[in-house]
Structure 1
């Protein structure tokens, strides 16, 4: 298989080192897997494609089956693209945003007007790169990436061992987050469903973790994605254009989802449902609820010109009203923003009001497109923080699906290998007992306040609001451990408690996954499956992970 994949990548003109005779020997020794790869491109069937994939029955034994194609199903059936490259891939020749004229985007002296122009072009060049060969192919489902004729794309495995949020069988979507939007008709509850795609440069790094024999090699040192790694993620919402008019005229899918109001489970015993109970109480269906529609599309690019982080994040959003006449439905979107840093507050200052006057003076490390924000909010109700264009803390970049107290890079910077207790840093401090981030303190009592969503906040454990902001709005360097220690009057304090993380090899710092939350979530699910594989099926309980900054219910 490895040799077969190497030949395929070389024939696509990608500069892949390691296309040698040794690869052919290895391919001959693994003829079965090679044949599977050749028959369905990069989708080799090494890992489960969706939650109740019939090829992996041991992972859902005893459960109520609602996430497998019924016998009369004639729609699409998703296959995971998991034949990862076995050598580094350089696709720079096809990545025009790497041209030197974009250097100015990352330079402090560039005017806000020029940054806006450069960010706009950068974002659209990345979007065109991601869409090329993945959409509008005759007779092929959009974003079926098994046989992309332009360049290969891949998916993250093991987002399947989860009865509540695991991949569904039609398009491979995972349930991401409950989102309540304020509309003129009142608050509307909904869910986000999404899927991520990795180019070959990024997928090589995935392949160092996810092995060709269907197992994971848990990193014991921080990993680093190579320059030019690209990750894309379309996110679909369960509401209709009646409530969110920007989703008119955009792509929609009939997906096998659960209750759109974010189904939860009530355990018969204890505090958590078993996987069997979850499968019973939160069944999936392609007919009971409406389609899901494109609301948001995120991207991330490894770009070393972004000093401090080496990543560029961007968000597009549905814009189906203003772009109704655009012939290509996948281009009926607009760029919400691009960021390459968190505009970190100086020591002792707070993220909720730093930088000042961002709507007029802009940011140093990001660009927000305010006309897009206005279009999103035009359709909102009275609760400003539940409008689609709420953005993040102090208007840092965050999409409609994301949390108003954070930012794209703040959440993703936490991406870490789960420790031996399957613990990772919270995506937001709000989802813990710690002091909250992005808080406006009370003018008379600085130890209390409200966060940007309006929730009450208090200083906990002597960790001030500024202390917590210094953690979550720091520019975490690529492949660097996420720092959870702050300096206080009594000395350094680990805000997660002493002894955290607890890795088997004794490592005292978080092992970085270089901004890949998908990889962190997938390793969490893999580790839970390993823990459960010898347990009685009746007692298997899935530990809830946090998705996109929202706590699972």
Structure 2
């Protein structure tokens, strides 16, 4: 092949450019020496073993937590595939990255939050915004630039920037972190599929990561001595905070073809069909009453973990959350990516086989007396005011699903609000996370989805000739509770809760359950944890451990709802 002189010059220039770029990267000082970190760190490693890294962590200072349990989540002495370590050296002084590191804050994205911007322009901006956040989340966490550790998302020694985990998602035997990747068990998900089974009962396993700005807020709660300091007023993350969360699924590629070629992790999980524990007949609690819940010993026996009995889990969903003051009603932007392995079969990097599903910064709250079920009108054609959906991906996901609409992989949320395959069809990303609150003295929190307790269901429509019954988007029938009708419950769950503000529980003189905080007995509002369900659930587990230390191991139970975190 003949190569012209001009081509040779261009090729040489590209090589020199690449070498120059590599040289700059190689000489760049480690993140911990950068001025923004204010001298708080002296090395890359951010894992301190202050808190348990995973359920049944064999570190002697944690073993009392697992007393009497069947051990199934501890690696052997010959295990060589890597062991998860919790990144918990939180900054104790606020760290704010320069805007050049977080380009989604550029002024050109202001129009995304302007209601007068056309749907076409919003879609263009949303796609660019969320892809910038995704790229930021992958930097130093996957093979390539800034990579130190041998496995993707081993965050203890990220050369590019530090990422942190939340502690105490380790105490619950059913959902607690597994030891290989630090994944926690989330919700069971049944998909409508096209293979011979027709339905696919699967489980989600996930792990969340917080950048330094977000981790500073975690550090206000989780202390250097391994304890939690409960906030007495609403927590509020600072602008610049970024949270990312890859969610893995137990389904096979035959069941969900879009999983083809996506990142696949070996994990020490329990039964993929979502193991549940059954109480032995005649069991009594410490007060002599019939026990309705398994204790931790029974759960560890009946729902053992195993890294060899089941297939690897596969990346199905990747969530991002960004504190952004331009989202004037909530202060947050939530986004979701979903596996797109069929259309991206030729893409080499498995992490790039994800496609953005949508971006939202508000719930498009229904007007008074209107239902979230059909408000706004026909969002596929008319769009949302506070969200953008990538309908092309929705169609692609559903193309490989069965006919049960709300169990298709691209089912979305209430009236097609943003929700990923792992999420509930009756809610939205922000309606669920907006309930995040400090557990009260009885370990209660607001229900993250109204259907999860004795409340009027959200995203429901009244039945014909009925004053009390309605059917939600998932097709389930529910009834009105405490005189709160379907439109009123939607006005609470699809309200735009501000960053750090309490989840509103009152409507037209009626109220959902109020908190009971011992330190503030007259307080009638929930203490906000600023959209952080992980913080709420981890504090529930921490409070249970504090209480259970006074009890016999046979009385160790988790009294709280175990759900999406």
Number of the residue aligned with 1:42 = 46
RMSD: 1.5
Q: How does 1:130-209 map to 2 (within 5 A)?
A: 130-136=137-143, 137=147, 140-185=150-195, 186-209=198-221
Alignment of 1:280 with 2:280, yes or no, is: no
Superposed CA deviations along residues 472-491 of structure 1, whole A, max 9, x for unmatched, are 0000011001111111xxxx
Superposed displacement of residue 448, structure 1: 1.8
Unaligned runs of 5+ in 2: 1-28, 284-290
CA change 1:155–1:246 in 2 (3 A) is: same
Q: C-alpha separation between the residues in 1 aligned to 2:225 and 2:406?
A: 46
Highest CA radius of gyration, 1 or 2? Answer: 2
Alignment of 1:54 with 2:78, yes or no, is: no
CA change 1:541–1:57 in 2 (3 A) is: same
Q: C-alpha separation between the residues in 2 aligned to 1:98 and 1:382?
A: 41
Superposed CA deviations along residues 353-398 of structure 1, whole A, max 9, x for unmatched, are 0000101010000000000001110111121111011100000000
Q: C-alpha separation between the residues in 2 aligned to 1:348 and 1:142?
A: 48
Q: C-alpha separation between the residues in 2 aligned to 1:250 and 1:140?
A: 18
For residue 146 of structure 1, give the secondary structure of its aligned residue in structure 2: helix
Q: How does 1:382-401 map to 2 (within 5 A)?
A: 382-401=403-422
Superposed CA deviations along residues 241-298 of structure 1, whole A, max 9, x for unmatched, are 1100010000000100000000000112210001000000000001011100000000
Superposed displacement of residue 138, structure 1: 6.8
TM-score, length-normalised on structure 2? Answer: 0.90
Superposed displacement of residue 447, structure 1: 2.9
Superposed displacement of residue 10, structure 1: 4.7
Superposed CA deviations along residues 298-333 of structure 1, whole A, max 9, x for unmatched, are 010000000100100000000111111112111100
Alignment of 1:240 with 2:252, yes or no, is: yes
Q: How does 1:418-497 map to 2 (within 5 A)?
A: 418-487=439-508, 492-496=509-513
Q: C-alpha separation between the residues in 2 aligned to 1:125 and 1:393?
A: 27
For residue 168 of structure 1, give the secondary structure of its aligned residue in structure 2: coil
Count residues in correspondence.
519
Paired residues of 2:31 and 2:159 also in contact (CA < 8 A): no
Number of the residue aligned with 1:526 = 542
Paired residues of 1:104 and 1:115 also in contact (CA < 8 A): yes
Number of the residue aligned with 1:251 = 263
Higher alpha-carbon deviation: 435-444 or 43-52: 435-444
Q: C-alpha separation between the residues in 1 aligned to 2:552 and 2:463?
A: 51
Q: C-alpha separation between the residues in 1 aligned to 2:270 and 2:450?
A: 28
Higher alpha-carbon deviation: 499-508 or 145-154: 499-508
Superposed CA deviations along residues 107-136 of structure 1, whole A, max 9, x for unmatched, are 010000000000000000000000000001
CA change 1:284–1:106 in 2 (3 A) is: same
Q: C-alpha separation between the residues in 2 aligned to 1:250 and 1:151?
A: 24
Q: How does 1:114-129 map to 2 (within 5 A)?
A: 114-129=121-136
Paired residues of 2:323 and 2:333 also in contact (CA < 8 A): yes
Paired residues of 1:343 and 1:365 also in contact (CA < 8 A): yes
- Which residue among 519, 535, 556 is the counterpart of 1:504? 519
Q: C-alpha separation between the residues in 1 aligned to 2:473 and 2:399?
A: 20
Paired residues of 1:411 and 1:548 also in contact (CA < 8 A): no
Q: How does 1:271-420 map to 2 (within 5 A)?
A: 271-420=292-441
Number of the residue aligned with 1:97 = 104
For residue 157 of structure 2, give the secondary structure of its aligned residue in structure 1: coil
Superposed CA deviations along residues 65-119 of structure 1, whole A, max 9, x for unmatched, are 1001012211110000000001011113300000000000000100000000000
- Which residue among 66, 79, 87 is the counterpart of 2:85? 79
Q: C-alpha separation between the residues in 2 aligned to 1:180 and 1:14?
A: 48
Q: C-alpha separation between the residues in 1 aligned to 2:336 and 2:190?
A: 19
Unaligned runs of 5+ in 1: 1-6, 24-33
TM-score, length-normalised on structure 1? Answer: 0.92
Alignment of 1:69 with 2:75, yes or no, is: yes
Higher alpha-carbon deviation: 248-257 or 70-79: 70-79
Higher alpha-carbon deviation: 53-62 or 335-344: 53-62
Paired residues of 1:14 and 1:90 also in contact (CA < 8 A): no
